[in-house]
Chains A and B, each alone.
Chain A
């Protein structure tokens, strides 16, 4: 189909502001070899005219690193949530449908507000306590293999794919999302981070915590970094059970 290669057809779900109604707009942009969705959207900036020939406001979306490491440009492409920088046009049936993530409030067009995720990181105490940034010598020695395993969890870019794919995560539910479990797993396995593991476990034993996970395992499948979130959930299942028993016995 040589014609398909000349132009790329995009169907974009747009919304002017958080209170207005969404609508569809279609665009055609020139095909370039190995182009990604971000390049398509950039092309619209240069010629913001839809397929009906109407001059429209350029599509608004979020992006930054374009290397799938900052997490900004996440959106739903042909029904699947992913980063638009690493989504190559050749991988998709046309017209390619672009929609904002549905689990976060829309700001405009494809841009959404994922601030809730950063709030969750506060809730689960996603940091390691240190006495200060002054010179105190090296940290504890660490098993290189365990450290390598933990590194997998530290690649989470708070993109929200796991939240978007999860049936439990939505605006009506307090469920905190699988990425937060990954972070608890990460910090609780650190030689000094584990000093605060009880606090972190307590934070995910509240409403919206681990017990609300429906074990559908979409999170792992949706994660662009293939972070073993389901392993984290299983590990934390054990840890929270132990924590519950300890707490019960102490009381």
Chain B
């Protein structure tokens, strides 16, 4: 997570244009910061740069190493290459149904309409998609649909899309429009007396310098929070710390309890490695041995969608087979995902990336032997509350990508995440620009004391952490957090376990104050930064757990055996969590159902 660097030669121009405190001059260009250099952040940057406005881009890692690289299977777009009668309307319907009707409908509608154009844009940018014999984009099947709707680039689609945007941003960087702060950790936003976001505080992860940046608008595109669960399919930077930091500064966090558990991953000591849904999209079959014969339980239970039921449905089925029917492979926590009936040459063409992962980490060749897989925490449908322009509840602070809560409702369909992050960036970028240009007062005119106060608050917190001399190891506390969350707040949720979890989280928060810092150096001290991130993870874990405790129904990824049915009368509503010193305060708002009326969700 290293290598802080500041790129571009904007420095002196910035001084002239932005720090002069002269509103007339500032109108030439507004100051916009994007935090996070995955698909959403880079797409927002491109949209802003195309308008000729500069961008400051903050990222923990060099943006080319962002978590978007881990997405494997593809990106959805109803291009109807196969002549099956697919259309953006059907895509929209299946997205909303896949999310068990909890998603506000305006943004998903727009996203599905824009999807073909988004895939074409990537095609023009040079992404090496798999192609049909005629040379058109090829599409494959994914979960929750019967159409071939997923464009793909082998099994490394996220990597390929990220590189295309990274390259585009690099071009803008070489032209002086983008200034990158790679190796900088976002600490907080700067809010003025009126509660408007006027900038941010970030820390250089090598020099440990804390610095304030004046901004007219800030876009958070900081991704997911898998590390709240210890091990997940997420990358190590996915702690959710940026979203949680602004939640503690007053931004509303919505639908936190909706956590997607991906049915097929390879458990490891360091993380759960994803085996893409594309494996089933290309014909892979899930089974366990029963009475000495393979039992294809998904095909048995869901004859219409078979192995391609949505992820929440598949994960619950796997859980049932392993824990209730005790039919896990060798009595353990795994089932088979079988590709061996598919010709190896075809597999290499379409799934090489995941075959390679399985081979390298497990030592077996999935062309010859079935893979052993098990569900894992994968994605958060919840995130920062945003309106239809991607503005959070704090004016001047926008959010896009996995860190916002829109688009997916109670469960996300496979291959919709690359789409929603790119589309979110496409909306958030121009929104931020429009908002910033319409400001009566620019960040350059905000009194310096506003910024100094926030910087001092962050510096003070850092000093407090650096001086911690108790007896807890922060990584062991993190293990305990991950264990309890994974045990109680994943596929099957019981109220008494959720209550016990919240108690444990409060205990962990108390013990956090008793951490011992083992690295006292003032250079590249990742321990100090981790302790800060751990605090945020504990705060976010409470939002997830208490949101789940309150929601007495089953919907999408949120399943309570005590309340096995969806309850539209009482629970067709968005959870909104606001930070208070006594814990998250929950309130609810109605779901925007302007296009589709909720109906029974059945995949059998």
Where the two chains meet, the residues of A that have a C-beta atom closer than 8 Å to any C-beta of B are: 16-17, 32, 34-36, 38-39, 42, 45-48, 55-58, 60, 62-72, 85-86, 88, 107-108, 111-115, 118, 121-122, 126-128, 130, 132-133, 135-139, 141-144, 147-148, 150-151, 154-155, 157-158, 187, 190, 192-193
A-B CB proximity, top 4 nearest: A141-B135, A127-B167, A139-B123, A128-B126
CB distance from A223 to the nearest CB of B (A): 13
CB distance from A129 to the nearest CB of B (A): 8
Contact (A157, B159) CB under 8 Å given A113-B2, A130-B124: yes
Contact between chains at A67 and B273 (CB < 8 Å): yes
Chain A residue, CB-CB nearest to B349: A148
The docked-state distance in angstroms from the alpha carbon of A121 to that of B271 is 31
Q: Which residues of A lie under 8 Å from residue B136 when comparing CB positions? A: 138, 141
Asked whether any CB of chain A lies closer than 8 Å to the CB of B439, the reply is: no
Contact between chains at B135 and A143 (CB < 8 Å): yes
CB distance from A139 to the nearest CB of B (A): 4
Contact (A144, B135) CB under 8 Å given A34-B268, A132-B50, A133-B47: yes
Stretch at the interface among B82-90, B211-219, B516-524, B558-566: B516-524
The winner among B126, B131, B269 for most chain A CB atoms within 10 A is B126
Contact (A193, B523) CB under 8 Å given A34-B268, A113-B5: no
Contact between chains at B518 and A55 (CB < 8 Å): yes
Contact (A118, B170) CB under 8 Å given A69-B156, A155-B159, A190-B126: yes
Contact between chains at A138 and B271 (CB < 8 Å): no
Contact between chains at A142 and B131 (CB < 8 Å): yes
CB distance from B154 to the nearest CB of A (A): 6
The winner among A60, A63, A114, A133 for most chain B CB atoms within 10 A is A133
Q: Which residues of A lie under 8 Å from residue B156 when comparing CB positions? A: 69, 155
The docked-state distance in angstroms from the alpha carbon of A127 to that of B175 is 13
Q: Which residues of A lie under 8 Å from residue B121 when comparing CB positions? A: 130, 133, 135-136
Q: Among residues 255 to 284 in chain B, which have CB atoms less than 8 Å away from a CB atom of chain A?
A: 268-271, 273-274
The docked-state distance in angstroms from the alpha carbon of A40 to that of B167 is 34
CB distance from A226 to the nearest CB of B (A): 10
CB distance from A98 to the nearest CB of B (A): 15
Contact between chains at B523 and A67 (CB < 8 Å): no
The docked-state distance in angstroms from the alpha carbon of A112 to that of B235 is 19
The docked-state distance in angstroms from the alpha carbon of A127 to that of B168 is 6
Contact between chains at A67 and B70 (CB < 8 Å): yes
Contact (A193, B159) CB under 8 Å given A34-B268, A121-B170, A127-B168: no
The docked-state distance in angstroms from the alpha carbon of A29 to that of B343 is 42
Contact between chains at B170 and A127 (CB < 8 Å): yes
Q: Among residues 192 to 215 in chain B, which have CB atoms less than 8 Å away from a CB atom of chain A?
A: 206
Q: Which residues of B lie under 8 Å from residue A128 when comparing CB positions? A: 124-126, 167
Of A57, A71, A127, A154, the contact of B519 (CB 8 Å cutoff) = A57
The docked-state distance in angstroms from the alpha carbon of A6 to that of B420 is 46
Stretch at the interface among B57-65, B245-253, B457-465: B57-65
Q: Which residues of A lie under 8 Å from residue B511 when comparing CB positions? A: none
Chain B residue, CB-CB nearest to A62: B2
CB distance from A140 to the nearest CB of B (A): 8
Q: Which residues of B lie under 8 Å from residue A67 when comparing CB positions? A: 70, 271, 273-274, 357
The docked-state distance in angstroms from the alpha carbon of A182 to that of B254 is 44
Contact between chains at B524 and A17 (CB < 8 Å): yes
The docked-state distance in angstroms from the alpha carbon of A71 to that of B47 is 27
The docked-state distance in angstroms from the alpha carbon of A88 to that of B521 is 31
Where the two chains meet, the residues of B that have a C-beta atom closer than 8 Å to any C-beta of A are: 1-3, 5, 43, 46-47, 50, 61-62, 64-67, 69-70, 117, 120-121, 123-138, 153-154, 156, 159-160, 163, 167-168, 170-171, 173-174, 182, 206, 235-237, 268-271, 273-274, 349, 353, 356-357, 360-363, 426, 473, 475-476, 479, 518-521, 523-524, 526-527
Contact between chains at A58 and B120 (CB < 8 Å): no
Q: List 18 A-B contacts (CB under 8 A).
A: A34-B361, A34-B362, A34-B363, A60-B524, A63-B1, A68-B356, A69-B353, A70-B61, A70-B70, A107-B2, A118-B64, A127-B168, A133-B46, A151-B128, A151-B154, A151-B160, A154-B163, A155-B159
CB distance from A137 to the nearest CB of B (A): 6
Q: Which residues of B lie under 8 Å from residue A193 when comparing CB positions? A: 126
Q: Which residues of B lie under 8 Å from residue A147 when comparing CB positions? A: 128-131
Contact (A122, B174) CB under 8 Å given A55-B518, A86-B360: yes
Q: Which residues of B lie under 8 Å from residue A187 when comparing CB positions? A: 126
Q: Which residues of B lie under 8 Å from residue A60 when comparing CB positions? A: 2, 524, 526
Chain A residue, CB-CB nearest to B172: A127
CB distance from B62 to the nearest CB of A (A): 6
Contact between chains at A154 and B206 (CB < 8 Å): no
Contact between chains at A66 and B69 (CB < 8 Å): no
Q: Which residues of B lie under 8 Å from residue A148 when comparing CB positions? A: 128, 130, 349
Contact between chains at A111 and B128 (CB < 8 Å): no
Of A58, A118, A135, the contact of B527 (CB 8 Å cutoff) = A58
CB distance from A131 to the nearest CB of B (A): 9
The docked-state distance in angstroms from the alpha carbon of A133 to that of B119 is 11
Apart from A127-B170, A141-B135, A148-B130, list 9 A-B contacts with CB within 8 A: A64-B236, A66-B273, A67-B357, A107-B524, A111-B524, A113-B5, A115-B5, A135-B121, A136-B120
Contact between chains at A58 and B519 (CB < 8 Å): yes
CB distance from A79 to the nearest CB of B (A): 20
Contact (A192, B124) CB under 8 Å given A38-B270, A63-B236: yes
Contact (A133, B50) CB under 8 Å given A85-B270, A141-B135, A144-B131: yes
CB distance from A181 to the nearest CB of B (A): 16
The docked-state distance in angstroms from the alpha carbon of A115 to that of B183 is 11
The docked-state distance in angstroms from the alpha carbon of A193 to that of B129 is 15
Q: Which residues of A lie under 8 Å from residue B50 when comparing CB positions? A: 132-133
The winner among A57, A70, A118, A138 for most chain B CB atoms within 10 A is A70
Q: Which residues of A lie under 8 Å from residue B2 when comparing CB positions? A: 60, 62, 107-108, 111-113
Contact between chains at B171 and A127 (CB < 8 Å): yes
CB distance from A34 to the nearest CB of B (A): 7
Of A32, A63, A137, A138, the contact of B269 (CB 8 Å cutoff) = A32
Contact between chains at A46 and B135 (CB < 8 Å): no
Q: Which residues of A lie under 8 Å from residue B47 when comparing CB positions? A: 133
Q: Which residues of A lie under 8 Å from residue B361 when comparing CB positions? A: 34, 36, 86, 88
Contact between chains at B153 and A151 (CB < 8 Å): yes
Chain A residue, CB-CB nearest to B137: A138
Q: Which residues of A lie under 8 Å from residue B206 when comparing CB positions? A: 107-108
CB distance from A7 to the nearest CB of B (A): 15
Contact between chains at B137 and A157 (CB < 8 Å): no
Contact between chains at A135 and B61 (CB < 8 Å): no
Contact (A66, B124) CB under 8 Å given A46-B473, A141-B136: no
Chain A residue, CB-CB nearest to B62: A118
Contact between chains at A64 and B269 (CB < 8 Å): no
The docked-state distance in angstroms from the alpha carbon of A123 to that of B568 is 57
Chain A residue, CB-CB nearest to B132: A144
The docked-state distance in angstroms from the alpha carbon of A39 to that of B273 is 14
CB distance from A163 to the nearest CB of B (A): 15
Q: Which residues of B lie under 8 Å from residue A151 when comparing CB positions? A: 128, 153-154, 160
Contact between chains at B170 and A126 (CB < 8 Å): yes
Q: Which residues of A lie under 8 Å from residue B518 when comparing CB positions? A: 48, 55-58
Of A122, A141, A154, A155, the contact of B173 (CB 8 Å cutoff) = A122
The docked-state distance in angstroms from the alpha carbon of A56 to that of B518 is 7
Q: Which residues of B lie under 8 Å from residue A139 when comparing CB positions? A: 120, 123-124
Contact between chains at A69 and B70 (CB < 8 Å): yes
Chain B residue, CB-CB nearest to A85: B270
